[in-house]
Structure 1
Amino acid sequence: MNPPSKPSAPQPGPETQRGPVEQRGSVEQRRPVEQRRPDAQHGPEDLNAPDAQHRQDAQSFPDPQGVPDPAPPLRGTSGKTAPKRLVKPAEPAHLPKRTPLPKPKRGPAGKPAELHRGGTAPDRSEGVSDPAATGTVNPPRSPRSGRAAIPVRLIRRVAVSAATAGAVWSTAFTVSADNESAAARLQGALDPTGSLLAPAAMVWWLWLPIVAGLLAYAVYQWLPRQRTNSRHDWFGWLVLAAELVAFGWLLAVSAGTAAGVLAVAVAQVALGLLCIHRSNSIPPATRTEGWVTDVPLGLFFAAGIFSLTTSAAHILTSTNADLAGWGGVAWALIGLVTVTMGVIVVCMTDRGHLAVAVAAAWGLSCVALERLTGTPGSMVIGAAAAGSAFLVLLSAGSRRHQVDHERRWNERHPQQEQEAEPPAEEEA
């Protein structure tokens, strides 16, 4: 007999399958809520998410009633739930802190005011001080009135050109038909026979290269490359002042007053010293620039020196001034030595101002010629003036040679050091 078979297990019907499926479905529905917990199964990107996002996710998936939480929150050793901690990435320490820029005002058609040509200027009270940083294309305007800035460079060029034309016209007007200047005809402050320091009349030919140099500068400043040259911001006004002083000198000479010539000569020497100082501080970039700026102003300074000494000596001689009873020759020697030493000191600065040295040597030669061949004659003053001219040229030439030699040596010195180093041994 066959043994009785065991009763087979009842097959799960639809009713029995629906319960576990529904329970599993509810667990699966809970699964996204568990995956969004930053302290359970997720990386650093979810840790950086704000709390509002977690709260929003929790509200979007409500917790069904009666289903236990399969993944309870982590608890610490004290039994309390560990608080959430959001990690905020720190900025690198080597980068400067950036301050947020103010929001620009909106112009017409939704464009920013800084980028719109017809927009208003940026508000200075909001911290916008650099137009280049905001991208503005408006022309430069005054911060107070809002009007366009004054073209100072254009005004300077026009003023220099007008003054140069006036200087050329006045120089041509003061020359007579027999090609003698007003200074040569003057029987007063600049008379060659007025004192022992008065030079010959041909010394005032210095004004011809001076006026020619000023005319060349007036044309040179209008070149396209020179309109933005910052050096002309100083020398343009100096040239304009020199032209005005030259016009005053011509008026004083025409009037024939020694006091007026002396006052203009003092202003001329002071302005010439300022020009020399600026030339040393701001050297010319090219040789052409030096010829049209430094050379005329150097000649202008030298002409002022001889105008000062001649007018001062004429006043002292006409009043018979003889301090300490040393005589006119002794005081003339003192004045000659003072002028020579002053010119040498000027010529020993920078690269040696050859224009000043040549003009001073010309004036001293005229003094020597007038004292040796004219009246009043003095062999001592004539010889001293000739020796002074030689010393001035020697000092300026030696200074120029010294500066050029140092420059060439500095250019060759790094190359000589590199040649003197022994060649590096090749590695085995």
Structure 2
Amino acid sequence: MNETRDTVRQAVVLVSAIVAVVGAFIGSGAAGGTPIQDAAGGALAADATPIAPGGPAFAIWTPIYAGLLAYAVWQSLPKQRADERQRRLGYPIAVSLILNAAWILSIQFGFLAASVPIIAGLLVVLVWAFRITLASRPKNLVETIVADGTVGLYLGWVCVATAANITALLVASGFRGFGLGADAWAVVIVAVAGLVGVLVAIRGNGRLAPAVSLSWGLAWVAVARLTGDLLSAPAGIAAIVAVVVVVFVTVALRIRNSRSAGSPKVVSA
């Protein structure tokens, strides 16, 4: 009975990964569709809101999708079938993949309002998966990269994407900011994103992957605001400060925990 359940789980993760990658291919516009940044009336374009990342930021999806595909294949191997860690991690990753595809569809069909609860749900699921990776150590370097590393990159980027998505909906809905200017709101939202990065670093004892992708996203927010079509020096400077703080806290915690733990055989991502 357990073997059947494990086989089903492995198949679900693998199929979900294929669905998500196909959805990403369509969403990129490579199949003749509308690129995400141009869909939904351009609400997610690099110059649509003060915290929209610059276009090159989305290159982070390449290692994320590569990691997700690698994990889907790796976890489907017989050796991982009855692995307790994969039993707990498999379905959260599968759900995140389906939500990812659903988010792309919502944007492609112009349902910007629907995209926010979807990406919020994706963020919650990734927090769940991240907590699972924290509960036990990976067994080897391969698992560290394809499981822990991929989940971390995925989580860090989706933190930034969620903030950008919510802001895009507010701007598209005509939100006036209760008297605060766009620059002030941008600084507040970037500060919140930076705080989330610090909390993830603390909870993850200096995990590098979430900090890398979250900092990558915020760095491209800074580039877009300081050199792009929608200029905002306050937002750009706030994003730079957030990146510095997140990286500093993550590295400091990483060094401290490495020293206190000695030299573990497998280093978590």
TM-score (norm 2): 0.89
**Paired position in structure 2 for 1:247:** 101
Cα shift at 1:149: 6.4
Cα shift at 1:282: 2.3
Q: What are the Cα deviations for residues 39-69 of structure 1, in whole angstroms up to 9, with x where unaligned?
A: xxxxxxxxxxxxxxxxxxxxxxxxxxxxxxx
Quick one: structure 1 residues 176 and 330, their matched pair in 2 at CA, closer, same or farther if it must change by over 3 Å?
closer
Quick one: structure 1 residues 180 and 286, their matched pair in 2 at CA, closer, same or farther if it must change by over 3 Å?
farther
Question: Please, which runs of 5 or more residues in structure 1 have no aligned partner?
Answer: 1-147, 411-428
Q: What are the Cα deviations for residues 111-161 of structure 1, in whole angstroms up to 9, with x where unaligned?
A: xxxxxxxxxxxxxxxxxxxxxxxxxxxxxxxxxxxxx66710011111111
**Paired position in structure 1 for 2:201:** 347
Matched, 1:211 2:73: no
Report the Cα distance in structure 1 between the residues aligned to 2:89 and 2:180, rounded to whole angstroms. Answer: 44
Cα shift at 1:192: 1.7
AA of the residue aligned to 1:229: D
- Greater helix share, 1 or 2? 2
**Paired position in structure 2 for 1:274:** 128
Task: Map 1:144-155; keep pairs closer than 5 Å.
Answer: 151-155=4-8
Q: What are the Cα deviations for residues 157-207 of structure 1, in whole angstroms up to 9, with x where unaligned?
A: 111111222222222233335999722333433122221111112222222
**Paired position in structure 2 for 1:313:** 167
Cα shift at 1:260: 1.9
Question: Please, which runs of 5 or more residues in structure 2 have no aligned partner?
Answer: 265-269
AA of the residue aligned to 1:200: G
Instruction: Name the count of aligned residue pairs.
Output: 263
**Paired position in structure 2 for 1:301:** 155
Could you tell me which of 248, 254, 261 is aligned with 2:115? Answer: 261
In 2, are the aligned partners of 1:196 and 1:329 still within 8 Å (CA)? yes
State the identity %. 25
Cα shift at 1:212: 0.9
Q: Greater RCO between the two (CA within 8 Å, min separation 6)?
A: 2
In 1, are the aligned partners of 2:64 and 2:150 still within 8 Å (CA)? yes
In 2, are the aligned partners of 1:343 and 1:360 still within 8 Å (CA)? yes
Report the Cα distance in structure 1 between the residues aligned to 2:144 and 2:32, rounded to whole angstroms. Answer: 30
Quick one: structure 1 residues 189 and 299, their matched pair in 2 at CA, closer, same or farther if it must change by over 3 Å?
farther
TM-score (norm 1): 0.57
In 1, are the aligned partners of 2:27 and 2:34 still within 8 Å (CA)? yes
Task: Map 1:190-201; keep pairs closer than 5 Å.
Answer: 190-201=44-55
Q: What are the Cα deviations for residues 229-264 of structure 1, in whole angstroms up to 9, with x where unaligned?
A: 110111111111111111112112212232122111
Matched, 1:392 2:246: yes
Report the Cα distance in structure 2 between the residues aligned to 1:184 and 1:238, rounded to whole angstroms. Answer: 27
Report the Cα distance in structure 1 between the residues aligned to 2:130 and 2:243, rounded to whole angstroms. Answer: 20
**Paired position in structure 1 for 2:267:** none
**Paired position in structure 1 for 2:221:** 367
Matched, 1:232 2:82: no
Moved over 4 A (4+): 177-181
AA of the residue aligned to 1:353: R
**Paired position in structure 2 for 1:378:** 232
In 1, are the aligned partners of 2:28 and 2:36 still within 8 Å (CA)? no
Report the Cα distance in structure 2 between the residues aligned to 1:362 and 1:184, rounded to whole angstroms. Answer: 18
Could you tell me which of 22, 28, 39 is aligned with 1:169? Answer: 22
**Paired position in structure 2 for 1:42:** none
Cα shift at 1:267: 0.6
Quick one: structure 1 residues 184 and 408, their matched pair in 2 at CA, closer, same or farther if it must change by over 3 Å?
same
In 2, are the aligned partners of 1:295 and 1:355 still within 8 Å (CA)? yes
| Alpha-carbon RMSD | 2.3
Report the Cα distance in structure 2 between the residues aligned to 1:279 and 1:306, rounded to whole angstroms. Answer: 21
Larger radius of gyration: 1
